């Protein structure tokens, strides 16, 4: 999928869907996990690659210095709008640039790349850029679409993995995740009608092991994985905020349509 064309058509709708329409949404959950990752770190200089409307950058700018870059004009206009609504101290710590992320220059303590990897043609584009931008002890935080969830969501994607002969490899990776402990949870779930959504079928996906391997090849070691926005079956059929408790458990890496990895050089 061509990210430029896609977001030229959908920037505002995407932001509404990810952040404004409901509380348990992919955008909110990703923002909360990023907040947790950086909550105890000292003041840092952070690059937010593909920052969109700046929700995550503005959250981080409550403490850190942040540069957000995005090639989409509407996204940057929204980011500037939200920046103007933020407290003055936050405004001073954040800046937004409208350019392809490959054109960012500078030296950063952390690079975050949220909801972007699957629009890049190859993983190397991201890992090489992160290496160029990060200092020697830098942190890279990247989200990916979770290929393991294909085997749990029971959708067209599951059939595709079975037909392509990859199903047993994915099931084995999921079985490893069941070795983590699962707390008992009191769930108040909402059941939604199933929405047929095939527009993102072509987007690249990774399993956690696949991403860990490619990161290692580029000199990054895994610190932690978080499942984002866990579901018991494919969204939006069964959704509950109660499942956020799973985010820090290994099994969430089977039950989440996306995951976030924290890596260090």
Residues that bind ligand SAM (CB under 6 A): 3, 7, 27, 30, 50-52, 55-56, 70-72, 75, 100-101, 114-116, 119
Q: Which strands make up the sheet holding 94-98, listed edge to edge?
A: 94-98, 65-70, 45-49, 108-113, 134-145, 256-264, 221-230
Contacts of 135 (CB under 8 A, 6+ apart): 107, 108, 109
- By beta-carbon proximity to ligand SAM, the closer residue of 38 and 177 is 38
Q: Considering the complex, what minimum distance in angstroms separates the CB of residue 26 from ligand SAM? A: 8
User: What's the rounded Cα separation, in Å, for the pair 167 and 158?
Assistant: 8
Angstrom distance (rounded) from CA 221 to CA 219: 7
Q: Are 146 and 257 contacting, i.e. CB atoms less than 8 angstroms apart? A: yes
Tell me how far, at minimum, the Cβ of 176 lies from ligand SAM, in Å: 28
How far, in Å, CA of 218 to CA of 256, rounded?
25
Please identify, using beta-carbon distances, which residue of 70 and 173 lies nearer to ligand SAM: 70
128 alpha-carbon distance from chain centroid: 19
Which H or E run includes 260? strand 256-264
CB closer to ligand SAM out of 126 and 148: 126
Q: How far is the CB of 16 from ligand SAM (least distance, A)?
A: 12
Q: What's the min distance (Å) between Cβ of 68 and ligand SAM? A: 8
User: At its nearest, how many Å lie between ligand SAM and the CB of residue 242?
Assistant: 23
Q: Which is nearer to ligand SAM, 170 or 228 (CB)?
A: 228
Q: Which is nearer to ligand SAM, 71 or 150 (CB)?
A: 71
Token representation of residue 104: 């960012």
Q: Which residue is nearest to ligand SAM (CB)?
A: 52
């Amino acid at each position: 999928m061509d990210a430029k064309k896609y977001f030229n058509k959908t920037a505002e709708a995407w932001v509404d869907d990810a952040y404004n329409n409901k509380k348990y949404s992919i955008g909110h959950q990703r923002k909360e996990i990023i907040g947790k990752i950086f909550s105890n770190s000292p003041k840092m200089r952070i690059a937010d690659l593909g920052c969109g409307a700046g929700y995550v950058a503005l959250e981080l700018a409550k403490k850190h210095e942040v540069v957000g870059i995005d090639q989409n004009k509407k996204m940057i206009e929204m980011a500037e709008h939200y920046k103007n609504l933020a407290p003055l101290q936050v405004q001073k710590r954040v800046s937004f640039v409208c350019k392809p992320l490959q054109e960012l220059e500078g030296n950063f303590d952390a690079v975050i790349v949220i909801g972007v990897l699957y629009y890049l043609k190859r993983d190397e584009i991201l890992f090489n850029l992160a290496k160029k931008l990060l200092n020697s002890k830098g942190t890279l935080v990247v989200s990916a679409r979770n290929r393991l969830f294909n085997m749990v969501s029971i959708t067209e994607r599951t059939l595709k993995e079975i037909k392509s002969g990859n199903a047993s490899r994915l099931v084995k990776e999921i079985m490893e995740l069941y070795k983590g402990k699962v707390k008992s949870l009191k769930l108040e779930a909402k059941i939604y009608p199933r929405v047929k959504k095939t527009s993102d079928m072509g987007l690249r996906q990774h399993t956690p092991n696949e991403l860990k391997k490619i990161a290692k090849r580029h000199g990054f070691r895994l610190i932690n994985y978080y499942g984002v926005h866990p579901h018991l079956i494919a969204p939006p059929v069964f959704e509950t905020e109660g499942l956020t408790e799973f985010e820090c458990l290994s099994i969430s890496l089977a039950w989440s349509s996306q995951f976030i990895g924290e890596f260090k050089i």
